[in-house]
Amino acid sequence: MIETRNKLTIENNNSTMSDLVFLLLVFFMMTSTLISPNAVKLLLPESGSKTMAKQNVTVYIDENYNFQVNNTPTDIDGLQPLISAGIEQGVSDACVVLRSDKSVPVQYVVNVIDAVNAINEQSGTKHKVILATSPKK
C-alpha cells in the first residue's frame, strides 16, 4: 500500500480575522477620542466642589462673550425664550447649567441668572442656575 506524504487537512486559520478585528478596534478607539463632548471649547473656572445635577438646559458663554443655549447661538435678548423653550413642560425645578469661560466678566453670568429669574417669576417655578467648573489641579 502506498501512502501519500502530503495529507490534505481542512482547517480554518483565524489569525488574519483576529488581526483585522484588532485593527478595527484600535481604529474606533482612536477616532472616538477625537470627538469632543462639548460643542464649545471653554476654559472653565476651577473649583474643589463636586456638586452634580441633572442638566435640563445648558448655556455656554465663550471667550468672545457669545451666548449659546443648547448649541443654538443667541444674544442677551434671546436668552429667556430659548431657556424657557429648553425646559420641559411641567418641570418646576429644572437646572440650567452655565458653562462660562473663566475670562468672561461676571455681568454676562448675571445676565443668564436674570433670564432664569424672569422665567421663574413669569411661570411661578423654581429653576436653578448652576455654574459648571473644572476640578482643581
Q: Does residue 55 register a pLDDT over 80?
A: no
79, 85 in Cβ contact below 8 A? no
DSSP letters, 75-134, are -GGGHHHHHHHHSPTT-SS-EEEEEE-TTS-HHHHHHHHHHHHHHHHHHT---EEEE--E
Count, in order, helices (H) and strands (E) of the chain.
Answer: 3, 7
Q: Residue holding cell 445676565?
A: 111
Grid coordinates belonging to 92:
418646576
CA distances from 123 to 8, 19, 80, 90, 126 (A): 82, 60, 12, 10, 9
Tens-digit pLDDT profile for residues 66-91 = 999 888 899 988 888 888 888 877 77
Tens-digit pLDDT profile for residues 99-121 = 888 888 989 999 999 999 998 89
Tens-digit pLDDT profile for residues 13-31 = 777 788 889 999 988 887 7
% of the chain with per-residue pLDDT over 70 = 80
User: What is the pLDDT, as a whole number, of residue 88?
Assistant: 78
pTM, 2 dp: 0.61
> Most distant CA pair in the chain: distance in Å?
102
User: What is the pLDDT, as a whole number, of residue 86?
Assistant: 86
34 falls in which pLDDT band (50, 70, 90)?
low
